[in-house]
Amino acid sequence: MAPTRQGSAAQTSASGLTLGIILACQLMIVLDVTVLYTAMPHIESALHFTLATLSWVQSAYTLGFGGLMLLGARTGDILGRRRVFIAAIALFTLASLAGGLAQSAEGLLIARAVQGIAAAFAAPSTLALMMTSFPEGHERNRAVRLYTAVSGAGGAIGLVLGGLLTDAVSWRWVMFINLPIGLGLLILAPLALRETERHRGRFDLAGALTVTLGSSALVYGLIRAVTDGWADTLTDLSFAAGAVLLATFFWVERRAAQPITPLHLFASAERSGAYAGRILLIGGNLGTFFFLTQYVQTGLGYSALNAGFAFLALVIPQVLMSTYGVRRLLPLVGHRLLLAGGLALAVAGMVGLSRVGVDTSYFPQLAVPLVILGIGTGAAFVPLTTAGISGVAPRDAGAASGLVNTAHQLGGSLGTAVIVAIVGPVGDPAAGPLVDGVASHLAVRSALTHALTVSATASAAFFALALAVALLTMRRAGSLKPAVPSEGRAG
């Protein structure tokens, strides 16, 4: 009996190490979506960004992440997921080091873009390795619960950790924090992870590049329009290039033998509505969140750490609603009503944020709208995700879930760029009157207050449009029956 117990203990230990590696990788990837938010004012000052171009610090990461995620999933299938996972983590770690050492805005943006590319290859392999390492039943259910918890809590951890590191040391440590995690993963992954079976297939490089470059061109055009005007030649060329590249993407996908995005997935109104709704919800959320971090720190004078704690009024209700509240409400009201109610609450929260002033206090003027927004978005994410993979054949489940994640990342980039363009240069303190070459404190507060109120109003319109899309496309409350993928979601 002793050898059996020893073998069982060793197997449990190995499973625990495997799960620890997977969760640590997911935490690192999720952290990098939010950890820079509370460091933004410090990055802006240190590397001489404008408020408009500062949005590229986030977009450079999410564009590569979202645009190449489906290619990353295909690469893991063909080359082996452990091999791709290790290579992606090595690249992510090196890019984090380069970002922390960056001496210019261009250097940081290049590092962030490389991080996003690496994340696009690491994230699908992480989830696929979890599905192949743990058999169906209790072990896999436990692993999925922990994975979901890390994905949700990572946003809150990133906000607080970013503020703590920025206050205690420097904004550069929000990049350096990835180094010990990445090095630990590189040491342990070859020991604990088993290589997966390799499958024959083709790389749809043309599809991946055209959607990524096309989205990037649109974002560049929107940001350039803020600084150089809508009549600028390069602005117009960027929009034209984006339109041509995205049209080429759809042309490529229609003819590719193994497309990364099977276009027949858009034949369902429910799925197409879910993708559109997610783009609007994430775009509005992150677009206003970008200005909210500037307003709270530079406008209201919060430290980076206090700003991180302030945003917990949004993140904690969102996590609690998405993990516990939805589970109780869904059987009672159904997907359609839960989604509509969540989006309606999100609209109300954004309307509340649009009413802030120069002398707004944290409670209740900021805290209450943030709590309402967190509850609303937390309620909406789950039915949007379910609708995005509803009714697909099992062979397409991976591609459908990949599209959900792609819509999430690209929606954040495009939505932020659109809202930055709507706010315009009036929201930048540097555009206002100067006293001895420096904007007065009142001018700064006024400019950032304007930026937040305009962005929140635009986001409320985004959410209202998402609500209209949901009501038009999700007509049957009990009709959502997602396919069960053989290896889980990509990303």
Is it the case that residue 273 has pLDDT exceeding 80? yes
Overall residue count recorded for the chain in this entry: 491
Number of neighbours of residue 316 by Cβ within 10 angstroms? 16
- 200 vs 236, higher pLDDT: 236
Q: How far apart are CA 311 and CA 291, in angstroms?
A: 13
Burial class (CB in 10 A: 0-12, 13-18, 19+), 8: exposed
Please, which residues have CB within 8 angstroms of residue 461's CB and are 6 or more apart in sequence?
Answer: none
Using CA of residue 192, residue 197, residue 203, residue 209, what is the dihedral sign? negative
Is it the case that residue 429 has pLDDT exceeding 70? no
Is it the case that residue 127 has pLDDT exceeding 80? no
CATH class belonging to 264-491: mainly alpha
Is it the case that residue 433 has pLDDT exceeding 50? no
To which H or E segment does residue 337 belong?
helix 326-353
SS3 state at 69: helix
The answer to whether 484 and 341 have CB atoms below 8 angstroms apart is: no
Lowest mean pLDDT among 60-69, 113-122, 321-330: 321-330
Beta-bridge mates of residue 139: none
Q: How far apart are CA 370 and CA 208, in angstroms?
A: 36
197 φ/ψ angles, rounded to the nearest 5 degrees: -65, 140
The answer to whether 181 and 54 have CB atoms below 8 angstroms apart is: no
Q: How far apart are CA 46 and CA 103, in angstroms?
A: 9
Q: Mean of the pLDDT values across residues 470-485?
A: 62
User: Considering the chain, what percentage of its residues have pLDDT values greater than 90?
Assistant: 48
The answer to whether 18 and 142 have CB atoms below 8 angstroms apart is: no
For tokens 């997602």, the residue is 482
* Among the listed residues 195, 168, 174, 7, the one whose alpha carbon sits nearest the alpha carbon of residue 85: 195
Q: How far apart are CA 214 and CA 130, in angstroms?
A: 32
Burial code (b: 16+ CB inside 10 Å, e: under 16) for 369-401 equals bbbbbbbbbbbbbbbbbbbbbbbbeeebbbbbb
CATH class belonging to 1-203: mainly alpha
Is it the case that residue 174 has pLDDT exceeding 90? yes
The answer to whether 85 and 72 have CB atoms below 8 angstroms apart is: no
Q: Mean of the pLDDT values across residues 308-321?
A: 87
- 199 vs 158, higher pLDDT: 158
* Among the listed residues 86, 82, 36, the one whose alpha carbon sits nearest the alpha carbon of residue 58: 36
Q: How far apart are CA 40 and CA 298, in angstroms?
A: 10
Q: How far apart are CA 84 and CA 255, in angstroms?
A: 27
Please indicate whether the domains covering 1-203 and 264-491 agree at the CATH topology level: yes
Is it the case that residue 152 has pLDDT exceeding 80? no
Number of neighbours of residue 45 by Cβ within 10 angstroms? 11
Residue type, 182: G
Number of neighbours of residue 132 by Cβ within 10 angstroms? 18
Note the pLDDT tens digit of each residue in 319-371.
Answer: 888 878 888 998 899 889 999 999 999 999 999 999 999 888 899 999 999 99
* Among the listed residues 273, 228, 211, 275, the one whose alpha carbon sits nearest the alpha carbon of residue 71: 211
Is it the case that residue 55 has pLDDT exceeding 80? yes
Mean pLDDT of the residues in the chain: 85
Domain ranges for the chain, please list them: 1-203, 205-255, 264-491
pLDDT-based confidence at residue 418 (cuts at 50, 70, 90): very high
Is it the case that residue 12 has pLDDT exceeding 70? no
* Among the listed residues 126, 252, 105, the one whose alpha carbon sits nearest the alpha carbon of residue 193: 126
Q: How far apart are CA 250 and CA 433, in angstroms?
A: 47
Q: What pLDDT, on a 0 to 100 scale, did the predictor assign at position 487?
A: 38
Is it the case that residue 212 has pLDDT exceeding 80? yes
SS3 state at 436: coil
Please, which residues have CB within 8 angstroms of residue 32's CB and are 6 or more apart in sequence?
Answer: 61, 96, 115, 119, 158, 178
**DSSP string for 105-116:** HHHHHHHHHHHH
The answer to whether 428 and 51 have CB atoms below 8 angstroms apart is: yes
